Every structure is written in C-alpha cells, then in structure tokens.
Chains A and B, each alone.
Chain A
Amino acid sequence: MAQEVERYRKPTRILHWVHSGAFVVLFLTGLILFIPGLSILAQDSITRIIHRLAVVLFVAAPLIYIPMNFKSTMRGIKEAFTWGSGDMEWLRAAPRYYFLNDEEAMPPQGHMNTGQKLWWLMVLVLGAVFFITGLIMWAFKEAAPGALLEWMVLLHDVAFIAAGCMFFVHIYLSVIHPLMKGSLNSMTKGKVSAEYAKSHHGKWYREIS
C-alpha cells in the first residue's frame, strides 16, 4: 500500500462538511434575490426561514469547533494571514499550471498552496462580514436606521458575490478539474498519498517528514 500522510483531522473534516453544507443552503436561498424568476420560492418568506435555520448551523459549527480544537484553530488562522514572496510566484505560475500542467515555475508549497490560502482567508474574512451584516439585518431590522440597513444589504451582497465566485472555483478545483486528483481525498478520508503531498505541497512534506 502506498504511504499516506494525514492532511485534515477528523474534527476539521466534520466542520468542513457541516459548514459547507450550511453554506450551500445559504448560498441558494440568497441567490433567489438575484433571480427574479425564482421569487415564487421566496414568497411568504419560506426561503427566509430556511436561510435563518441554515445560518444557525453555519455559526454554531465553528463556535463548537474552536474551543475543542483551539490550537489547530490558531494555527489555521495564522496560516491564512501568512503571506510571502512565494505566493506571488505561485500566482504568476498558476495559469500555466492549471491550463497546461506546467509545473516548472511553481514554487514548492506549504500545507496550503496560495490559491487554497486565498480561499481560506476569504472564508474567514467574508464569514465575519456575512455574520455581522446578517446579524444586524436579522436582529435590528426594526431598531436600526434604514440607511445603515441598506449598507448592510450592500456589504452582504458584495460578500455574497465574492464568496459565490470563489465557491465555484473551489468546487471546480477539488472535484471537476481534469488534472487535479487527490485533493478531495484530503477532506473525505483526511489523507493523501505521500506522492501527492510531495508534488503538490513540497514545503509542507519536508516539514512533516
């Protein structure tokens, strides 16, 4: 059997799937406001209630995870905000890599490559934006001034557009892209082959081996 290395521990994987499940529900119920033809689904606030149920899960999942996995949370947050010159190189090399499978200019990557890190950073930052603006719209709809609520809607929607686009990219790269195989395993089984780790996350592989 090929040698395997652990990439994501079980609690992290559970958090990922609960959180992403909630996100998909939130994304689809929010998308309805951008597709007037589907507004029949939003009639009588049905999707609004589903949106609220999903957000409870979306917020509760990390809140339960963080105190139980404090060290890895801190490590993860630090990772999202650690950026260096290698990340610029990655961004320059990415188009040739993802279109033509040309790895030559690709610098060795850490635990997360630059693209994953960018997505992870957006999850953290946009998650906070979603939470704060959404909370104000939910709990202070009657109390807050209209102008503030209008800006909350705008920010919520800007975050929605950014997160939505990156969400497409995330799914595409982990499941659909013809040349990227194996990264899905890291979130389902938690492990990837040593071969995969060496070629895709060289810097990280050296750290752990």
Chain B
Amino acid sequence: MAEKAILFDSSKCTACRGCQVACKQWNENDEEIPTVENGVQSKNWGSYENPPDLSPTTWLKIEFREVERKGGVDWLFTRRACMHCTDAACVRVCPNGSLYHHELGFVAYNKDTCTGCGYCIDACPFDVPRSDRNLLTGSAKMDKCTLCTTPGLDRIAEGWQPMCVKTCPPKALKFGDRSTLVSEGTQRVNTLKSKGYSNAYLYGANELGGLHVLYVLDDSPEAYGLPADPQVSGSTIAWQNIIQPLGWALGGLTLLGLGLNYLVARQTKVDQEQPVKKED
C-alpha cells in the first residue's frame, strides 16, 4: 500500500490550536483540570502556548516562537507530535516490538504489551514519547500520537482523515499519499522561495529515511526548533543490533561449552573408574 503522510504548512498555520483540541477529543485524552500536581502548570509562564509540553494525554501541540527577521518580529508556529519516522529510533529500541511500523508507514504501538521501560523516551531524536512514571515502582505506559490508528479509534482504516487534519480551519494540515505530499510540499517551498523566503525548506522529505509528517517551513529547521540533522544515536542502534544478539551468542556458546564439557568429563570419569570396578 502506498505510504500515507501528513503535510504541515507552517506558513498557513494560524496557531488556533483546533488540532490540539480535536486530537484530545477524538482520542479521549482528557487532561485533568489544570493544576501543578498533574504536570500542567496553570500559572502564566510567559507564552500563549498551552499546554507547556507534550504529555501522555497531549499527543499534539503547537509551539510558538518569536523570531526577529526582515526588520520585524515574526511569530513562527511548529507542530509538535510524533514524526512517524521511517528509521524510527523508538521502534529500534523497543525490547518486545510493542512499537512497530503500521502498514502505511506510521509508527504505531500496542499499549497492552508496553512494559514501560522508557527506552523509546530516551531514544527519540524529537523528544516525543511520554509516560507517567511511578518513580518508586517504575510502572509506566508510553503514549504518543498514533496518527489516528489507535485500535477502536482508527479513523484511517475507515478511510477518514486524521482528526487534526479534519479540523484545521486554514488547511495548514493535509493528509494523503506521501509521494504526492512531497511534491506538493516541494512546490509550496519553491513558491515561498520566490516570494523571498530564501531559507524555505521541506522538512521530513529525507530526514531519518523520510518522515511521515512533512513540514513546509519558511525558514531553517533551527528557527522552528527542529533538529537540522536528526540522527538515531549509536547507543540506540547498538542495543538491538549488537547487545541483544551478543547476549544470545555468548549465552548460547557458554551453555553449549558446558554441555560439551559435561559429556567429555562424564566419559573421563567412567574411564577412570573402570579399572577399580574390574578389581572388584
């Protein structure tokens, strides 16, 4: 099946945050009444941005940035949610395959089998997965954007658009075949460039093997708070590709060696005891 994606056009986003609300509503992610206790600060923290961060029940938020350029101040809006990478660090590092690639290319997960180890939280180059961790017992469950493929709430399987896309008033969000959106995004970037946005860039076309959330940016990724060159770290790759196989190999060889030793040593014992038996 053709891979699907979301195209976010930052130059069209008005930061109405309708997508945030729609996301919460569809995915039944009620945030409790804001208090400091459940991690959501209710006091003014100097920004219209709200809530302050992603959380297990906030899978999507729009970030606000003030940037000085062309002699004035511009307000840049960035969509923060799972990027659904092709080369996904979280999928690489998940010990039991709870995180996996959906057939349409998204990064989906099975919350029932999630052990709460939190390796994905440490590995994600975009700092997206979240969990509420009991610091004493360590019990936790990871949550993040599923691109509306959560079992039971699967809009994509119904042929519908993701909730954030469906609700976006200025049509800054689009959903469709990834290849179509890449060419649409490239076109839009070229338009922006011709209008004088010389740093305009289509983010996600090639990053990490291709993201399934593409960003039309009218400035550099850094200006939008996105890593210019996101990478899966060496320690992430090592865990699944070196440590786990190494563990199996060394553990297996040890048991094999001991088994071999047992057979030989038992034979040795029998051989050495035989003369004694003959004397009887």
Contacts and interface: CB of A to CB of B under 8 A. Distances in A.
A44 to B, nearest CB: 7
B261 A99 contact: yes
B248 to A, nearest CB: 7
Contacts of B127: 146
Interface stretch (A60-68, A150-158, A201-209): A150-158
A36 B265 contact: no
B36 interface: no
Interface residues of B, number: 48
A141 B133 CA distance: 9
Interface in A50-97: 52
A138 interface: yes
B118 interface: yes
Given A164-B251, A169-B258, A49 B123 contact: no
Given A48-B137, A147-B233, A150-B233, A157 B239 contact: yes
Q: Main SS of the interface on chain B?
A: helix
Contacts of A141: 118, 133, 135, 138
A177 B265 contact: yes
Contact of B243 (A36, A44, A157, A177): A157
B122 A149 contact: yes
A18 interface: no
Interface in B124-154: 124, 127, 133, 135-140
A34 B139 CA distance: 19
B251 A45 contact: no
B244 interface: yes
B246 interface: yes
A2 interface: no
Interface string A122-149: 0000000000000000110110001101
Nearest to A35: B96
A139 B136 CA distance: 8
A168 B235 contact: no
Interface of A: 33-34, 36, 39-40, 42-45, 47-49, 52, 98-101, 138-139, 141-142, 146-147, 149-151, 153-154, 157-158, 160-161, 164-165, 168-169, 172, 176-179
11 contacts: A36-B95, A45-B138, A49-B137, A100-B264, A101-B268, A141-B133, A150-B235, A150-B236, A153-B239, A169-B258, A172-B262
